[in-house]
Amino acid sequence: MAEELKRRDFLRAGLRVSATAALSAAAGALTLRRAGGSTVWQIDPKVCVQCERCSTHCVLSPSAVKCVHAYDLCGYCRLCGGYHRPDAQAQDTAAESQLCPTGAIRRTFIEEPFYEYTIDEPLCIGCGRCAKGCGAFGNSSLFLQVRRDRCLNCNQCSIAEVCPSQAFRRVSASQPYLLKGQEQKR
């Protein structure tokens, strides 16, 4: 009987130690997350080379990186380098004419010769093909950004590790987006 009490006391003490350790670990993780919460990962659009690694190396599927359109920079061209393939036979909305592999860019006629281009973010995989095309044949109004509502804010971003241009960097959580056409404070 005394042996059972000792075993029971031993188990009870073990559970207390385990519970205390779990609470300490949770508190430590919360503290680290809050400390790390003052900065977030973001892509510097002036440095990004649209290597397509954002779509393949993010821990999320689809990637937390999405194309963003700076409407104030856009020329609303009939022939958009970010929308049409460079070798497109026609300037239309056919899938074989589009540069985006998922059809995430929508084109709406405004008036001759202008079209408005919008990004359907749920379809965007963050490959950067549109941003690369827009930069090569346009004014770079399409660019990539990490969407804060999707990103896990990993301690070491897996995309940042493989980014050839080192475009991924930590920025203040109070100003988490680096937008083209707006000077950012570093």
pLDDT attached to residue 77: 84
Start-to-end CA distance of the chain, whole Å, equals 70
User: What's the pLDDT at 19?
Assistant: 61
Q: What is the pLDDT of residues 131-153, one digit of tens each?
A: 999 999 888 999 999 999 999 99
Q: Where are the domains of the chain?
A: 1-36, 39-172
The predicted model scores a pTM of 0.73
The C-alpha atoms of residue 124 and residue 3 are separated, in whole angstroms, by 65
**Is the pLDDT at 66 greater than 70, yes or no?**
yes
Please tell me the distance from the alpha carbon of residue 132 to that of residue 124, in angstroms, as a whole number. 14
Asked whether the bond before 62 is cis by omega within 30 degrees of 0, the reply is yes
User: How do residues 9-47 score in pLDDT, each as one tens digit?
Assistant: 777 776 676 666 667 665 555 544 544 559 999 999 999
